[in-house]
């Protein structure tokens, strides 16, 4: 995004610098800076712009070049303006000084940008001292109000930008923390899928849609067979890996819109909106051999119970029918798909 901004803005700023230069009466300009700083700056910006074209130069270098070139120009602007302030007053270009503080927060991370901005403000103060001290020593009458306005306004911009960025950072941290807490509250920490609370809430919402639209809705409960034996024989660490692998298999074979949640222990819930009973049964039959395909883990199978939502169903009644069907699969020896009547 920054590269695009620079790509379109650099030619505009370079043209503005050349236009301002064309309006000057060069013969009246006393210093080299006043005569040639604007075309040199335009040339520098166009060289940086050329660095963006084929990307033959790292973007970081280009951006640093833009920033430090602009910063140098701003410091020189303060020096030469204050050198001539008794005759010419503050130049109109002084309104551009604060832009360097904005650019700092584009180029650097916030804390470094704050330090760089402070350093540039100190450079403004030093340039002013070097320009004004000889004049004060000679008794030249200076525009004190203009000087105060110049420095206080830049200091105000400097502090304001820092406060704005700090507030933005604080708000972003609060959002990230809230998102993290929401993730912890709704996600199973081991498998990364929805936890019992989250999948139950999704079921309530899906049932409400089902009642409003009459689109089919199926619920599947599946339980990994003989999982306690895996834990007892291989240890809980292997058992955890089995759960993670089973979750991955289930996730990879669901459609967009289907939802997977860990119901508890080795039990999972599949929420299948807009799915008929036959389609849900077919999905479970397809998942059976896939669950058993573990390269370095003990063999795994699962007992499936499938139930379709009926008019007047609530989460408890639908889950009870799917649970009964799953229990029937277990009673039949496991690795079965049973459909609730």
Question: At residue 21, what are phi and psi to the nearest 5 degrees?
Answer: -65, -40
Give pLDDT, residue 34.
Answer: 76
Residue 266 known to be catalytic: yes
Decide if pLDDT at 87 tops 90.
no
**Mean pLDDT of the region 45-74:** 86
pLDDT at 73 over 80: yes
Question: Averaged over 280-292, what is the pLDDT?
Answer: 92
| Comma-separated ranges of CATH 3.30.70.270 domains in the chain | 196-339
The string over 172-201, giving b where at least 16 C-beta atoms fall within 10 Å of a residue's C-beta and e elsewhere, is eeeeeeeeeeeeeebbbeebebbbeebbbe
Q: Quick one: which of 216, 221, 171, 232 has its CA closest to 326?
A: 221
**pLDDT the model gives residue 309:** 94
* Average pLDDT, integer, range 254-277: 93
Contact indicator for 303, 220 with CB cutoff of 8 Å: no
125 pLDDT band (50/70/90 cuts)?
A: very high
* Helix (H) or strand (E) run with residue 267 in it: strand 267-273
Instruction: Say if CB 37 and CB 51 are below 8 A apart.
Output: no
**What are the backbone angles phi and psi of residue 335, rounded to the nearest 5°?**
55, 45
With a pLDDT cut of 90, the percent of the chain lying above it is 49
Task: Decide if pLDDT at 194 tops 90.
Answer: yes
Burial tier of 266 (Cβ tally within 10 Å: 0-12, 13-18, 19+): buried
Q: Give me the catalytic one of 25, 34, 88, 266.
A: 266
Q: Identify the pLDDT of residue 296.
A: 65
The superfamily CATH assigns to domain 196-339 is Reverse transcriptase/Diguanylate cyclase domain (3.30.70.270)
* More confident call, 183 vs 308: 308
């Amino acid at each position: 995004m920054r590269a695009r901004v620079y790509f379109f803005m650099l030619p505009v700023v370079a043209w503005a610098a050349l236009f301002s230069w064309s309006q000057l009466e060069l013969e009246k300009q006393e210093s080299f800076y006043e005569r040639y700083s604007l075309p040199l700056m335009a040339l520098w910006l166009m060289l940086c712009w050329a660095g963006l074209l084929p990307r033959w130069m790292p973007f970081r270098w280009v951006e640093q070049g833009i920033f430090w070139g602009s910063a140098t120009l701003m410091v020189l602007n303060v020096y030469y303006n204050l050198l001539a302030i008794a005759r010419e007053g503050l130049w109109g270009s002084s309104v551009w000084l604060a832009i360097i503080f904005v650019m700092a927060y584009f180029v650097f991370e916030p804390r470094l940008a704050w330090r760089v901005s402070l350093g540039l403000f100190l450079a403004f103060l030093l340039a002013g001292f070097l320009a004004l001290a000889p004049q004060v020593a000679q008794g030249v009458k200076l525009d004190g109000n203009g000087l105060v306005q110049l420095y206080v306004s830049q200091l105000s911009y400097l502090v304001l930008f820092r406060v704005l960025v700090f507030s933005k950072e604080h708000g972003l941290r609060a959002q990230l923390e809230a998102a993290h807490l929401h993730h912890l509250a709704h996600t199973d920490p081991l498998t990364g899928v929805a936890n019992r609370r989250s999948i139950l809430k999704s079921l309530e919402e899906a049932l409400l849609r089902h009642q409003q639209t009459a689109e089919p809705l199926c619920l599947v409960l599946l339980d990994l067979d003989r999982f306690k034996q895996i834990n007892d024989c291989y240890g809980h660490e292997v058992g955890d890996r089995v759960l993670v692998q089973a979750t991955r298999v289930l996730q990879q074979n669901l459609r967009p819109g289907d939802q997977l949640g860990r119901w508890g222990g080795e039990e999972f819930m599949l929420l299948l909106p807009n799915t008929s009973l036959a389609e849900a049964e077919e999905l479970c039959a397809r998942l059976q051999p896939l669950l058993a395909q573990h390269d370095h883990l003990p063999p795994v199978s699962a007992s499936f119970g499938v139930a379709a939502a009926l008019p007047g169903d609530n989460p408890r009644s639908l889950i009870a029918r799917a649970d009964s069907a799953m229990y029937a699969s277990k009673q039949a020896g496991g690795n079965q798909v049973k459909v609730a009547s």
